[in-house]
């Protein structure tokens, strides 16, 4: 039943984010801000992106976050920040996430990597996290 | 000394590939095929890509391969095959690599993911590897 | 229920393709070729890509095919052929599809447009279709 | 004669935009802001982009706007806003344009689609337009 | 007059390519192969791409070819070969073109650069050209 | 020795930028701002990007800057500004850099070119530079 997929998505989301008073899905954007123009968007995000795909066996959460971050670095889309925050939630260390971005330099070039480091740095600062070198 | 970086690169390469009679770097392309037009290319690949970046602490080899595969899936470049083979060498399971590509569907779309699955499937067949589902 | 989404996907697919003796989804690739490595892929394609998204109200099938073709032209992925064939199935004329690709020249540049025209030309030839100019 | 192409471009532009006291081409950017560094740019935009390509038979204006929006969503370039506004001018409904962006999710991924929805939402708000769902 | 732009385009093309018995525009693809589906394409290529843009003052031919090659390397489109050949025609040395591709490594990553070197190498071999290192 | 590559990188940087009281590498970003999260980044930038690649023979500095700008225009990354400034430092004229961006229109489309012209225009204004047309 659809409800099971939706619940599966919510359950997975709760492993990736912490709800707060403002937002039941914490820092994770599930498209609720677009309810006025695309009311079915968040349903697709929760059911498919999280319920079907993110909850899929094969990789653990930390591997999944690294996978997502890598693709976003290659794309240059602004969602990098959100997923670095997710990384912190699932237990990726800042060193692992910086290591992921640095590792991408030979594949995506320095500009995309530096743009990603800027996003990561912002998330670390906002969350009082430092990197051990 | 440059020689240390080169050796560091070779040492890292030997964790990622198996030399054979045809090629000292096994399945891994380090640009030797372009010696006639860019003789310094393989030096940069071995010293920088492998010696500096791939050997960098922060992520382990399996995380690094997932990171690389993810970026290449997003880019759609043909090097995906080479890095899926590397994944097998460092101990990523086929399920982990398929999981990585499937995980990318919500971020890069189905076409790029299916093109990557095609590459992975080819490598699995060539290497007598099956996926447990 | 999941079965309804799957059926909704199949029903939409039948508007876009013609089944033949080799393939129940005709020319449309739903990922069945990857059953051995990702058995859940075709379920996601049928249920989400076709059942949820392609069946979504808002655009008619001809508009949807133009939308898909345009994105693939911008991306440069090989799936352009498959969707040009789909265009013929849903009643887009060759002039409309060539018009779509030509229209993209100022946005994606000539190389990507010419690569797409090559794909379209191949589909037209295979399907005995000519363009009226 | 060049003048015919320029006029053809202007005539097409007038189907896509409404002149106002600030700008003879209304919301449509034809590169006039770069007159000081590339004085021939707007001529190329008007003559080629609009006079040759946008005025080309094969697709109607609504189809052309959907085509353009789709490519820009795939690219992730900021010009999406401008073309959503154009969509409103030529009679595409907000539902059709949201439908176009939603349709792209399986091809370009959720991040690029959400970034595009943000642009569309902004244009709808600025123009007092709501979406019927 | 249109005829002047077309002639300007042909004149510029003759600086970039050598006509042969098979093709009046030599190795340069101006879209003639698509006459059956888009008869106006080659006119746009000759008049706009070559007559307006390629003939534009500001850069000399060698700079223009380097500019084009660089963008195609970043894009990963197959037209790289055609423009490396053009580079040879306008007097760029193989060292300059290899230098261009090598220079892009820090900006586009090794995979895209290696794919471009493969294209350049093929053109050099076909044209009996060697690189001095 | 590593020190020679670092010095080679610094020496090349000094051809491309002018140190000021705030920054020893002037307008050129070598990743120093990320010292807290990736202390080895600037070493890689200086040694590899500038010491190995930018200092490589084959192209002169002006050709190298055009090459870099072209790739960044194709990518749409924000580093375009930095390299237009570098162009001014090495003696590229504003006409040459505008010519480079305009030349890319048929390859990358108008949106990416206009976004790049915006960056160039900003740099020209900040540096009191005008374009002769």
DSSP characters for A22-65?
S-TTTT---SGGGTTT-TTHHHHIIIIIIIIIIT-TTS-HHHHH
Q: What are the tokens at E9?
A: 């385009």
Best C113, C114, C118, C133 member to test E by mutation, with max E CBs in 10 Å, is C114
Contacts of A94 (CB under 8 A, 6+ apart): A88, A120, A124, A129, A130, A131, A132, F37
Q: CA Rg, chain A, in Å? A: 15
Best C109, C114, C116 member to test F by mutation, with max F CBs in 10 Å, is C109
**E2 pLDDT more than 80:** no
SS3 helix, strand, coil % of chain D, rounded to 5? 65, 0, 35
**pLDDT, tens digit, for every residue of D11-21?**
999 999 999 99
| For chain D, counts of helices (H) and of strands (E) | 7, 0
Pick from E71, E99, E105: CB nearest F73: E71
Chosen CATH of B61-126 out of 3.10.180.10, 1.20.1290.10, 3.30.1780.10, 1.25.10.10: 1.20.1290.10
Interface residues of chain D, partner chain E, Cβ below 8 Å? 1-2, 5, 40, 44, 48, 52-53, 56
The residue of chain C nearest to residue B73, with distances taken between CA atoms, is C77
**pLDDT, tens digit, for every residue of F88-111?**
999 999 999 999 999 999 999 999
**D3 pLDDT more than 70:** no
Cβ distance C47 to C9 under 8 Å? yes
**pLDDT, tens digit, for every residue of C45-104?**
999 999 999 999 999 999 999 999 999 999 999 999 999 999 999 999 999 999 999 999
Quote the minimal CA–CA distance from D21 to chain F in Å: 24
Q: How many angstroms separate the CA atoms of A106 and E106, rounded?
A: 7
Nearest-5° angle of CA D85, CA C116, CA B111?
80
Q: How many angstroms separate the CA atoms of D81 and D79, rounded?
A: 5
Q: How many angstroms separate the CA atoms of E116 and E114, rounded?
A: 5
Mean pLDDT calculated for residue range F16-35: 95
Using H for helix, E for strand and C for coil, what is the string for chain B? CHHHHHHHHHHHHHHHCCCCCCCCCCCCCCCHHHCCCCCCHHHHHHHHHHHHHHCCCCCCHHHHHHHHHHHHHHHCCCCHHHHHHHHHHHCCCHHHHHHHHHHCHHHHCHHHHHHHHHHHHHHHHHCCCCCCC
pLDDT class for C44, splitting at 50, 70, 90? very high
**E133 pLDDT more than 80:** no
The residue of chain C nearest to residue A58, with distances taken between CA atoms, is C38
**F2 pLDDT more than 70:** no
pTM (2 d.p.): 0.97
Instruction: Give the three-class secondary structure for D5.
Output: helix
Q: Which residues of B touch C77 (CB under 8 A)?
A: 76, 111-112, 115
| Positions of chain A with pLDDT lower than 50, given as ranges | 1
pLDDT at C46: 98
Cβ distance A111 to F49 under 8 Å? no
| Averaged confidence pLDDT in chain C | 96
Q: Which residues of E touch D5 (CB under 8 A)?
A: 2
Q: What are the sequence ranges of the domains in chain D?
A: 5-54, 61-126
ipTM value greater than 0.90 = yes
Q: What are the tokens at D30?
A: 């034809």
Cβ distance A89 to B86 under 8 Å? no
Q: Which residues of C touch E41 (CB under 8 A)?
A: 102, 114, 117
pLDDT at A3: 62
Contacts of A87 (CB under 8 A, 6+ apart): A62, A65, A66, A69, A96, A97
Q: How many angstroms separate the CA atoms of A70 and D29, rounded?
A: 34
* Nearest of F124, F130, F30 to residue F84 by alpha carbon: F124
């Amino acid at each position: 039943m659809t409800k099971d997929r939706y619940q599966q998505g919510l359950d997975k989301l709760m492993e990736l984010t912490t709800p707060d008073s403002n937002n039941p899905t914490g820092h994770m954007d599930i498209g609720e801000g677009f309810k006025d123009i695309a009311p079915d968007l968040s349903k697709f995000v929760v059911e498919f992106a999280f319920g079907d795909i993110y909850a899929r066996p094969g990789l653990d959460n930390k591997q999944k976050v690294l996978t997502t971050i890598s693709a976003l670095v290659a794309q240059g889309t602004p969602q990098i920040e959100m997923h670095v925050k997710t990384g912190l939630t699932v237990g990726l260390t800042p060193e692992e996430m910086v290591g992921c971005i640095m590792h991408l330099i030979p594949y995506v070039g320095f500009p995309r990597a530096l743009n990603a480091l800027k996003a990561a740095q912002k998330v670390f600062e906002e969350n009082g996290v430092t990197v051990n070198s």
